[in-house]
């Protein structure tokens, strides 16, 4: 089975303190779902569109596990903490087998 990757792009972070609180709640939920953070931060370089947005990439054993974790009540409670403190987009993609 192919791995699943959860990639979050933060277009704007208006309140970094809220992002810290979100991470305290979200990290254990993601870990419990089998997620491993592979990369986190602003890009070293940004090509083509040139968007230097904060990016987080998390690996799961499968796409299904990534989706299950994202849609879980525990993770959605963490998302609610973000409120209007950030604008982001989350994509879940299947790895190449």
Cβ–Cβ < 8 Å for 3, 60: yes
Q: What is the pLDDT of residue 88?
A: 96
- Strand 54-60 with 86-94, pairing: unpaired
pTM of structure:
0.92
pLDDT digits (tens, 9 = 90+) for 38-48: 999 999 999 99
Q: Return the CATH number at 24.
A: 3.30.70.100
- What Cα–Cα distance (Å) separates residue 36 from each residue in 1, 14, 47? 17, 26, 26
- For the stretch 21-72, pLDDT in tens is 999 999 999 999 999 999 999 999 999 988 899 999 999 999 999 999 999 9
Question: Are the CB atoms for 66 and 8 separated by under 8 Å?
Answer: no
Q: Which domain holds residue 36?
A: 4-94
Domain tally for the chain? Answer: 1
Mean pLDDT value of segment 68-97: 96
């Amino acid at each position: 089975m192919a791995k699943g990757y959860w990639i979050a792009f933060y277009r704007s972070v208006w309140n970094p303190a809220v992002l810290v609180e979100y991470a305290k709640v979200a990290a254990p939920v993601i870990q419990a779902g089998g997620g491993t953070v592979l990369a986190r931060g602003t890009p070293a370089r940004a090509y083509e569109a040139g968007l230097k947005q904060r990016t987080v990439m998390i690996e799961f054993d499968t796409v299904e596990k990534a989706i299950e974790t994202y849609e879980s009540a525990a993770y959605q409670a963490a998302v609610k903490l973000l409120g209007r403190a950030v604008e982001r987009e989350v994509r879940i993609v299947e790895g190449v087998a």
